[in-house]
Chain A
Amino acid sequence: MVVRINGKSEEIQGTTVLDLLKAKNIDPHMVAVELNDKMLERDHLATTAVKEGDQLEFLFYMGGGR
């Protein structure tokens, strides 16, 4: 199925958000995940299925400034 991740269309296998993060080698503690413009609680990553046409945003922490 096709989903949009950070604005780009991607073909992925049916999976949960957590599996998708794992497949991309992203530690779930390093990102905030937005699914269709709503924040996903970290506890729900493993139980939330990704569906055709979903829009996902992986927001990484950006801490610098000095």
Chain B
Amino acid sequence: MDFTDEQITRYSRHILLPEVGGKGQKKLAKARLLIVGAGGLGSPAALYLAAAGVGTLGLIDSDAVDLSNLQRQIIHHTPDLGRSKVLSAKEKIRALNPDVNVVTYEDRLLARNALELVRGYDVVIDGVDNFPAKFLINDACYFAEKPLVHGGILRFDGRVTTILPKKSACYRCVFRNPPPPGLVASCQEAGVIGVLAGIIGTIQATEALKLVLGIGRPLTDRMLDFDARRTAFREIKTRRNPNCPLCGDHPTITELVDHEETECAVKVTSDIS
């Protein structure tokens, strides 16, 4: 595969980097990345990965664009209200960079489809807003042995970590199971400062690019927490946990399971009253 003159100009600022070069840019063009959730984290991640010239971007989301999304989900614009998120996102990606092949799945990621989906990609980006899905993505990537870039945002806080299955700590090594329903606010009813999606989502995109290019040091065995109130990052060391129910010495999770949805909306409402 050879780049056209137009592509060489488009990607010139990458190609100029010794760590990327024409060779790295070709790796990007061949890469297949899956973004789970075309929302807050998925928006900036998808846009930057598309601009970077990633060959194939998979997007899975079952939702339609809602007015309350537009405060942070920057891939969707006002005229997109009511439209399918994956189709809205695909349109913006194609307008930004027609080189990118966008594969859309208007569906939820569930135990029945997760493994097959994840297997078709090189790196997975977690941009979902609920714990059952976050645990499911972690497990599916472990079984499929696919690198996962995890992200989370809530109120003024964000978190990113990269997981290389069987090599570095997984999400369950730290958080064994989803929190009990109602205890932890996990969705947008708790509120989130919109720019956090951009900060965390672009770090996720950076991690995915590094993994594809094979450069630098991945954000493995550490969680990077960001506090927007103080504008401060903090790194928490993690390591594979021998007692991890998924990747530990005596695993108890041997197949994908759908955890029950947590009822955070109910909890948050009752907090206010």
Q: Which residues of A contact B (CB under 8 A)?
A: 6-7, 27, 29-30, 32, 34, 37-39, 41-42, 57, 59-66
Contact = CB atoms under 8 A, between A and B. Distances in A.
A59 B237 CA distance: 11
B173 interface: yes
Contacts of B69: 66
Nearest to A63: B186
B187 A62 contact: no
B24 interface: no
A62 B158 contact: yes
Q: Which 8 A-B pairs have CB atoms at the shortest separation, nearest pair first? A: A63-B186, A66-B39, A66-B129, A62-B152, A64-B154, A65-B41, A64-B153, A61-B184
17 contacts: A29-B180, A30-B184, A32-B174, A34-B236, A37-B239, A38-B239, A59-B236, A60-B184, A63-B154, A63-B264, A64-B186, A64-B188, A64-B192, A65-B37, A65-B126, A65-B129, A66-B37
B241 A61 contact: no
Given A30-B179, A34-B238, A59 B174 contact: yes
Contacts of A59: 174-175, 223, 236
Contacts of A30: 179, 183-184
B101 interface: no
A66 B60 CA distance: 13
B131 A65 contact: no
Interface of B: 37, 39-42, 69, 73, 126-131, 134, 151-154, 157-159, 173-176, 179-180, 183-188, 190, 192, 197, 223, 234, 236-239, 241, 243, 262, 264
A41 B243 contact: yes
A66 B236 contact: no
Contacts of B128: 65-66
Contacts of B185: 63
A25 to B, nearest CB: 13
B180 A65 contact: no
Given A30-B179, A63-B185, A65-B129, 20 more contacts: A7-B234, A30-B183, A32-B175, A32-B176, A34-B238, A39-B238, A39-B243, A41-B243, A61-B131, A61-B175, A62-B157, A63-B131, A63-B134, A63-B152, A64-B190, A65-B39, A65-B41, A65-B134, A66-B39, A66-B69
B131 A66 contact: no
B151 A65 contact: yes
